[in-house]
């Protein structure tokens, strides 16, 4: 099984806020991150690039693809979780505007969704379907997957054997790169 390079998109103006279905492009800081990110990824022998179709990921993936001369395949299944009415809000704003929902979400995040947002179960089903296909396609050539923090965190714990705290820490920064080889026993 080949390694997969998981890449969190570069920064946007919604940094520090809930940003799932929202579709901001990269901000000035994100644009400044791209050359470093692109050069770091040029060291890998990547044969495929898969990306969320949201602008922040697609702009990041396109820059990588142009540098290493690999076509990018955009996949809606790699989108971040939809946070509904919480989109564009900080956690503090969520706690102020939605105190009861915020408490419930903290205590049972996997059983709750943000008001009007995607359920964790629907998010996982979508990401599972996408990664099962990507892992099949990754049999012969290393791939890069440019996506969002929530997607990467889930993939790291589900397919690569990372603990939740380690997955959280490794995806903290915009432009984070995590290389892993899928653990075959987890792929079934």
Q: Rounded to an integer, what distance in angstroms lies between the CA atom of residue 78 and that of residue 64?
A: 17
| Active-site residue (options: 9, 11, 130, 153) | 9
Does 9 qualify as catalytic in the annotation?
yes
> For residue 18, which phi and psi values (nearest 5 degrees)?
-65, 125
Residue at token pair 């919480």: 86
Q: Rounded to an integer, what distance in angstroms lies between the CA atom of residue 105 and that of residue 113?
A: 7
Q: Rounded to an integer, what distance in angstroms lies between the CA atom of residue 137 and that of residue 113?
A: 31
| Active-site residue (options: 80, 101, 130, 153) | 80
Does 184 qualify as catalytic in the annotation?
no
The residues carrying an active-site annotation are 9, 80
């Amino acid at each position: 099984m080949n390694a997969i390079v998981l890449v969190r998109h570069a920064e946007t103006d919604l940094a520090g806020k809930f940003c799932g279905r929202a579709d901001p492009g990269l901000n000035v800081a994100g644009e400044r991150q791209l050359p470093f990110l692109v050069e770091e990824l040029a060291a890998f022998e990547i044969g495929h690039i898969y990306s969320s179709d949201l602008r922040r990921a697609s702009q990041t993936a396109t820059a990588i693809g142009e540098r290493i001369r690999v076509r990018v395949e955009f996949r809606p299944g790699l989108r971040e979780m939809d946070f509904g009415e919480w989109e564009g809000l900080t956690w503090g704003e969520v706690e102020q505007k939605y105190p009861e929902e915020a408490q419930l979400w903290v205590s049972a995040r996997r059983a709750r969704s943000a008001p009007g947002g995607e359920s964790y179960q629907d998010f996982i089903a979508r990401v599972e379907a996408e990664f099962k296909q990507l892992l099949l396609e990754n049999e012969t050539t290393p791939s890069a997957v440019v996506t969002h923090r929530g997607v990467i965190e889930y993939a790291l714990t589900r397919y690569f054997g990372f603990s939740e705290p380690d997955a959280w820490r490794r995806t903290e920064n915009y432009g984070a790169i995590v290389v892993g080889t899928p653990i075959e026993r987890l792929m079934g």
